[in-house]
Amino acid sequence: MGNVACCCSDPINFDGDVDLYHFDLHRAVGKGAFGKVRVVEHKKTKKLYALKYIDKAKCIKQKAIANIIQERRLLEEIDHPFIVNLRYAFQDDENCFFVLDLMLGGDLRFHLERLRYIPEDVVRFWVAELSCALEYLHRQRIMHRDLKPDNILLDSLGHAHITDFNVAIHYSERRLHTSVAGSMAYMAPEVIGRLGYSWCADWWSLGVVAWELLFHRRPFDGRSAEKMKHSILKDPIRFPSSARDKCSKEGQQFILGLLDRNPRTRLGCRDRDLGIEDVRSHPWMAKIDWDNLENKDVQPPFVPDMKKANFDVAHELDEFLMVEKPLTHTKRKTQHPDLEKMKPELRQLEEQFTIYDFTKTRRMSYYPHNQPITTLGHQEDAEPGEVIQSATNTLLPTSTVVDRSQAGSPINEDVGRYTHPPIPSLAGHGSEES
């Protein structure tokens, strides 16, 4: 019976490369297509984080390796108060791990479903914080492409943070993008209509989010993907009959400014040099103290109830009921695997899903050095493209979709080597698939 004494584990080398042994595993708080999100505690610092882990086998099966590596690389470039930032990244034989800032206040979808009414001042506060995050991302030449209530998390104090960079990309400085990615109900017309798009599409999505938070419904509806697409491209934008009771005239004008179908005249996009000042100078935002807001010195008007779980407790039950294989600390079969003998996808993960430790590694950019940005095009009609659903989320029309131009679409670092012929609807512009 001498071999049973498993409690005497090897000492942990905190000076070495970070791995799962550096953390104690706590409760599961979320679930994605390839794994779960758990609360973890760093054994040395005692700090709590969110651990997002991704099953390599599922990832390979769904042809999502490029997305995982892309997300890993983009997160290394990001550090902002209103974004769920990456703190560590590593892998073992079965999983890739992201260790992220912990947000225990729940996502906005959770609160939207439980609150009968969200006051205008709460929505304005969240929109102001999110606009700071978007402006920062766009300065980094990053488009999120999937802004929706599900991907906005509150911390325990009530501050809003953007998460889930699974379909985020570096937007090109020389070509507009044409691949359909995001969640249909929140897609800008230039995305869903394949008119060619850039960073302005994120501001449209913010407009849809603000509308939904205020009115408990989305501005564009459709029982089918085709009807929703038509609604986004063509239907007049009409506020609900009760809008006056829930949102001021200035608030309605702000949202309509974001929901401008022409990206060149959309709020936040009208003048690249003006940038976020276009948003900040709007009458709806007149009372915001932007310096204090960015320093998180403004008291959030909505504070989550931390006595309750702000997430679906069913995530934990899965493991108790043995529905899924629980996550455990496991040593790698070999510390230095022979890359030549590995499957191409696993080799790609070994080589490109590199270790990240925010206490040791300097954040770096993988941005390809492109030419100055082109003028955004805008056309009423373009050839419709098929929307292909990926396994990153739930069903249409609110699921994340990404239209891949090829099975393992290239990482943007290599964008110069993978160019595609321009599509006819973009007169005067090249197109770029990502």
**DSSP-H helix ranges across 296-402:** 314-320, 344-352
Say how many C-beta atoms besides its own lie within 10 A of residue 117's C-beta: 11
Catalytic amino acids? 146
CB proximity list for 61: less than 8 A, separation 6 or greater: none
Tell me the DSSP string of 313-327: THHHHHHHTTSSPPP
User: Was 296 annotated as part of a binding site?
Assistant: no
Label residue 325 exposed, middle or buried (CB < 10 Å: 0-12, 13-18, 19+).
Answer: exposed
**70-104 burial code (b ≥16 CB/10 A, e <16):** bbbbbbbbbebbbbbbbbbbbbbebbbbbbbbbbb
H helix runs in 117-160, sequence order: 120-139
Nearest to 220 by CA among 178, 191, 251: 191
397 cis-preceded (ω within 30 degrees of 0):
yes
What is the torsional sign of CA 25, 28, 29, 34?
A: positive
Q: Binding site membership for ATP: which residues?
A: 52
Q: Binding site membership: which residues?
A: 52
